Structures are given as structure tokens and as C-alpha cells.
């Protein structure tokens, strides 16, 4: 159908920072609306999030330039045109931008338009978004990996590692998995409160206490799982995203890089020592997934990391791959990790995201779909996870509406699919 209207505006994300919302209307008044999220701990190779850098507005974080690019260049290119497929529209936007990282028009504006078009197409076909993205007879409902303790860049506390997640996989449905996760979440709150810890939450809805050590976070979560009546490792396992790129300091004059623990011990570790820590944790705790266990620029460390743990658990590359199929191919060729984190705004279009996921599956890599720390009420990643049968996703903790909106959408999808939807369970994770 012909695109008859394109419009963008500046709206707010969950951290109170501006982001881009876009509307697209097709002939027949079929409408789609989407909002771009924003990250805090970002990979160096991510597509460009265009900000105004005007200190008089939103402390320089305004997105009026990106909005203007949608309402001018993109609108002129798209309105009155026919695009039969998502790929045709996205390729037109990529060509219009003309840069390798979407720095001319801004990936935040491009992505909002890309997703809005997918939603408008779904409305025109009178199908849900997940079916518009991938039309199949049966779908997989994901394991919700819930970030219950926050640290790193996501919280002002003493915890170096960014995300400590629970994965309630021993359930017969997504609805029951969410119930299990929420029960542990509230049990953990009571446990923290009883030990005298503050139960305020971080950017992604997880608790952000000042702990004595990083491994105390794991111990507390395991205690909460047991107190809630579940078996650690059997019913609910752990997933970690330490976001080690934030800790990595490149070496100078040929010296190796080091990982500096800024918040807790103030000590440093070599790649080999950090790998030793992860091997110890995996042998000691029921960990099924480890994301960014090594920094994005520490490819040698990633080689060691994959050799040590790549046959035991799921090793997810986030900052190192940035949802970019070209970089992912390099990782595949060098046997780095065994899974890729999927963030739409890292690459900037729906089509490129789908290509990255297809490349991963073709090479026996997993896909772990993810939100960003600056989220919105947009629930696209819930539909994306189901559409591509990713089997697991992370979208935050058990509170904050921009996080649970994705859970609520998955509950609706599960209800709608009925017998055509099956909960992934433990097999969603590589090597389990």
C-alpha cells in the first residue's frame, strides 16, 4: 500500500530523556506507531543515536534533529511511494542516510520509522505484529530473564556487574513462568529489607542495594528462589550480564588490557583472571547464560572465554557484536561466543535485525532479545521474540511499566496463540 503520512515527535523514555516516536499511515488509513529506545552501556560499534547536543534543552540530549530528519528527508522520500516489503522500505532509508552507522539521519529516527511501517503493514493485513514479522503455524513463547539486582552503569551502588537475572524455565506456560519470577522478585525484596538493605530499584526495575561483594548478589538471589518455594537450577536458573566493556581498560605500549572493579574492591584483573572467575561461578552456581563476560575490544579474552565455557552454557555477545551481521560473521568465523544479543536500535532497522537473527540461526548461534535501559511503552521486542522463536528475552525486572508492558504483551500473545504457542523452557538456552 502507498504511504500517505509520516510524522515524528520528541517523546520521553523511562529515564526521562527524549527519544523519537514516529507515525506512519498507509492508504486505507492503516496506522503504525513506534518509539526508539536508548541504551546506557552502549557498544562502540552501535548505530548512531542522534542527539542535539544543545545544553539549553534536556542537557544536550534533545532529539529535535532526528525528529526533523524524519519530518523532512524521510517524509519526502517515503510519502506517495509503494513498498511491498519491509526490506524495500528499510533499504530506502539506509540509502537515504548513506553512512555506515546511520549518523546522517540518526538510527533513532530511522528505527522508529522502520518499526512503525511494520506495524502499519500488520494493521493493513489485520494480523498481529509477530505474524507480520514471520508468518508460521507455530510459535515459541520465551523464558523471561528478569533482572532482579542491578549494578554497573544501571545503578548507583557498590555492585560492579550490571545485571543479575533469574530465568524461571521449569514452567508449562509463559504465564506461569512470569508468576514464578514475580514471586521470587517480591521474596527477594522482603529478604533484602530483612537484612537492612535499601530496596529502591535501578534503571531496569531490579533492586540496587549496596552489597559487600559482587557474589553476594548471586547468593541473595539463590536464597530468594528457595524461600519462594522453588529449586535453584531445577525450576529457576541464573543469567548474568556483567557488562565488562564498562570495566575494561585497554593496555598501552603493548601491555595487555585490564578489568578494573571501580565500585567494589578497586582491584584489577587480567582477561585470564576474569575468565577464571567466570569458570568458578559457573561451577558453583546454576548459571545458564553469561552475556558480555569479556569486553568488546578483548577478542583474545573472548577466545579464552569461549574455549572454557562455550560448551557448557550460553555465552552471549552484546557489545562485541552490536546486532550487526557483518560483525557477527567475524565472531562466527573466529568461534567467538555461541549467541548474540538482539537490540533493534543497535543496528537501526527491522530488516537488518532479522538478518542478524537469521545469520545466527544458520550458524547454530542463539538469539537473546533485549530491551535497553532507556525503554518506553513500545512492546515491539515481545512480538519480535515470538516471531523469530528466540526462546528467551530480557526486558527488565518485575516492576516498572515500561518493563512489564513487554510481559503483558507476551501474556496476550500466549492467550491468542493457544495451542499454536509453546513455552520454550530450559532448552531455550544453549547447551542445556
Annotated ligand binding at 68? The verdict is no
Rounded CA gap, 418 and 420, in Å?
Answer: 5
Q: Give 86-141 pLDDT, tens digit per residue.
A: 999 999 999 999 999 999 999 999 999 999 999 999 999 999 999 999 999 999 99
Q: What percent of the chain has pLDDT over 70?
A: 98
The answer to whether 415 is a known catalytic residue is no
Whole-number Å distance between alpha carbons of 341 and 339: 7
Q: Report, as an integer, the average pLDDT of 34-54.
A: 89
In 3D space, the residue among 183, 385, 206, 165 whose CA is nearest the CA of residue 288 turns out to be: 165
What digits encode the pLDDT tens for the residues 144-187?
Answer: 999 999 987 766 677 889 999 999 999 999 999 999 999 999 99
Residue 8 has a CB neighbour count (10 Å cut-off) of: 28
Cα separations in angstroms, 17 against 14, 37, 50, 59, 202: 7, 10, 13, 9, 16
Distance CA 430, CA 408 (A): 26
For 288-312, write each residue's pLDDT tens digit: 999 999 999 999 999 999 999 999 9
What residues contact residue 136 under an 8 Å CB cut-off, 6+ apart? none
- Predicted confidence at residue 266, as pLDDT, reads 74
Q: Known catalytic residue: 266? A: no
In the block, cell 515500561 appears at: 402
Residues 102, 119, 343, 406: which is the catalytic one?
343
Report the pLDDT value the prediction gives residue 155, as an integer from 0 to 100: 66
How much is the pLDDT for 255?
76
Average pLDDT over residues 271-284: 97
Please tell me whether 371 is known to bind a ligand. Answer: yes
- Any long-range contacts for 67-73 (C-beta under 8 Å, 24+ apart)? 67/8, 67/9, 67/10, 67/20, 67/109, 69/104, 69/105, 69/106, 69/109, 70/6, 70/7, 70/8, 70/20, 70/22, 70/105, 70/109, 70/112, 70/113, 71/6, 71/7, 71/8, 73/105
Q: Is 86 annotated as a binding residue?
A: no
Question: What cell does 143 get?
Answer: 523464558
Q: Please give the mean pLDDT across all residues of the chain.
A: 95
Considering 204, 296, 314, 414, which one is annotated as catalytic? 204
Q: So what's the pLDDT on residue 212? A: 86
Residue 22 has pLDDT above 90, yes or no: yes
CA distance 206 to 182: 12
pLDDT at 42 exceeding the cut of 90 = no
Tell whether 14 is in a known binding site: no
- The annotation status of 219 as a binding-site residue, yes or no, is no
Residue 376 in this model has a pLDDT that exceeds 70: yes
CA–CA separation, 126 vs 128, rounded Å?
7
138 is in an annotated binding site: no
DSSP symbol at 142 = P
Percentage of the chain surpassing pLDDT 90?
88
Band (pLDDT 50/70/90 cuts) for residue 253 is: confident
- Residue 54, classed as helix, strand or coil, is coil
Q: Model pTM greater than 0.85?
A: yes
Burial of 85 (0-12, 13-18, 19+ CB in 10 A): exposed
- Please give the Cα distance from 302 to 335 (Å, whole number): 9
422 annotated among ligand-binding-site residues? no
Known binding residue 330? Answer is no
Q: Is 373 known to sit in a ligand binding site?
A: yes
Mean pLDDT of 41-46: 76
- Residue 87 confidence (pLDDT): 98
Q: What is the rounded average pLDDT of the residues 315-326?
A: 96
Cα–Cα distances in Å, from 66 out to 219, 273, 296, 422?
A: 44, 43, 27, 40
pLDDT for 191-206, tens place per residue? 999 999 999 888 899 9
343 assigned to a ligand binding site: yes
pLDDT at 263: 67
Amino acid at each position: 500500500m502507498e504511504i500517505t503520512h509520516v510524522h515524528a515527535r520528541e517523546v520521553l523514555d523511562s529515564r526521562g530523556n527524549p527519544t523519537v516516536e514516529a507515525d506512519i499511515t498507509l492508504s486505507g488509513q492503516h496506522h503504525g506507531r513506534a518509539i526508539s529506545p536508548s541504551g546506557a552501556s552502549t557498544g562502540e560499534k552501535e548505530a548512531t543515536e542522534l542527539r542535539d547536543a544543545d545544553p539549553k534543552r534536556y542537557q544536550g540530549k534533545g532529539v529535535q534533529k532526528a525528529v526533523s530528519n524524519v519530518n523532512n528527508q524521510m517524509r519526502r522520500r517515503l510519502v506517495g511511494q509503494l513498498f511491498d516489503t519491509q526490506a524495500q522500505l528499510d533499504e530506502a532509508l539506509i540509502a537515504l542516510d548513506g553512512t555506515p552507522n546511520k549518523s546522517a539521519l540518526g538510527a533513532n529516527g530511522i528505527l522508529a520509522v522502520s518499526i512503525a511501517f511494520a506495524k502499519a503493514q500488520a494493521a493493513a493485513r489485520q494480523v498481529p505484529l509477530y505474524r507480520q514479522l514471520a508468518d508460521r503455524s507455530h510459535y515459541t513463547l520465551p523464558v523471561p530473564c528478569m533482572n532482579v539486582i542491578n549494578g554497573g552503569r544501571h545503578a548507583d551502588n557498590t555492585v560492579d556487574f550490571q545485571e543479575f537475572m533469574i530465568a524461571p524455565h521449569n514452567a508449562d506456560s509463559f504465564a506461569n513462568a512470569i508468576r514464578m519470577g514475580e514471586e521470587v522478585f517480591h521474596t527477594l525484596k522482603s529478604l533484602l529489607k530483612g537484612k537492612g538493605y535499601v530496596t529502591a530499584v535501578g534503571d531496569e526495575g531490579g533492586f540496587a542495594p549496596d552489597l559487600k561483594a559482587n557474589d553476594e548478589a548471586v547468593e541473595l538471589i539463590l536464597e530468594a528462589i528457595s524461600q519462594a518455594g522453588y529449586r535453584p537450577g531445577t525450576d529457576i536458573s541464573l543469567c548474568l550480564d556483567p557488562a565488562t566493556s564498562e570495566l575494561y581498560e585497554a593496555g598501552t605500549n603493548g601491555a595487555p588490557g585490564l578489568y578494573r572493579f571501580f565500585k567494589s574492591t578497586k582491584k584489577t584483573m587480567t582477561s585470564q583472571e576474569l575468565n577464571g572467575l567466570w569458570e568458578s561461578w559457573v561451577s558453583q552456581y546454576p548459571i545458564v547464560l553469561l552475556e558480555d563476560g569479556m569486553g568488546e575490544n578483548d577478542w583474545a579474552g573472548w577466545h579464552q572465554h569461549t574455549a572454557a565455557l562455550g560448551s557448557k552454557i550460553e555465552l552471549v555477545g552484546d557489545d562485541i557484536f552490536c546486532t550487526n551481521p557483518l560483525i557477527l560473521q567475524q565472531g562466527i568465523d573466529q568461534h567467538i561466543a555461541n549467541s548474540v544479543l538482539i537490540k533493534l536500535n543497535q543496528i537501526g532497522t527491522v530488516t537488518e535485525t532479522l538478518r542478524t537473527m537469521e545469520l545466527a540461526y544458520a550458524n547454530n548461534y542463539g538469539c537473546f532479545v533485549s530491551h535497553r535501559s532507556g525503554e518506553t511503552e513500545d512492546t515491539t521486542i515481545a512480538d519480535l521474540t515470538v516471531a523469530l522463536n528466540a526462546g528467551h528475552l530480557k526486558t527488565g525486572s518485575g516492576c516498572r511499566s515500561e518493563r512489564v508492558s513487554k510481559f503483558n504483551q507476551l501474556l496476550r500473545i500466549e492467550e491468542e496463540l493457544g495451542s499454536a504457542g509453546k513455552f520454550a523452557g530450559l532448552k531455550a538456552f544453549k547447551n542445556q
